[in-house]
Amino acid sequence: MKKIIATLLIIAGVILTLTSFGLKMYSKSKEKALMNHLTNELKLENKKETPKKMDMKDNNENEIINLHGAMAIIEIPSIGLKSVIVEGIEMEKLRYYIGHFKETALPGQLGNFCIAGHSSSMYSEILNNLHKVKIGDEIKIKTIKEEFNYTIKEKFVVDPTKVSVLNQDKTKKTMTIVTCTDNGKNRLIVKGEINKNDK
């Protein structure tokens, strides 16, 4: 009987592992497909004439979100991260992408541009290495309008109820990345400030 139970447990473990692997592969394929759509749009935009730097303060979400729902591409070179940001943090979206908190600033705007993503789940591990970033590392945000560069200024862990990390300060251009810690009980927060050349 013990051998049967042990065998069943092993089989169950293998099934769970394969299921998790399959879901993560599917998530990566969806993320890659959306990134390709946005990358192609970025290439088309770059071919157009841009006589002057665009002012993001007058833009709204409809002007920077493409037809496939993507808002921007995020890159953090120091940890090899490149992913897609979509509008909203609904569970279905966070399964595959990084989500933008509605009612927070857009990329390049005055205020706090806030995004969130999974660091370790059955579906997605997009922000799995976020804990490895260092103060001074660069974050690149590319929209179909423009590219913005932020510098990481803070990294800390908070209780999930500390929503004050999303507060808006309209006197400066900042961004906040939110993800779970290893055990999922707390939230890892990374805060950045836009580079002087992008102000």
The residues that are catalytic are: 118, 180
The Cα 17–Cα 21 span in angstroms is 6
Residue showing tokens 């920077």 = 64
Q: What residues pair up with 190 in beta bridges, in sequence order?
A: 155, 177
CA distances (Å), 155 to each of 135, 166, 178, in order? 7, 14, 10
The Cα 55–Cα 107 span in angstroms is 11
The Cα 16–Cα 184 span in angstroms is 20
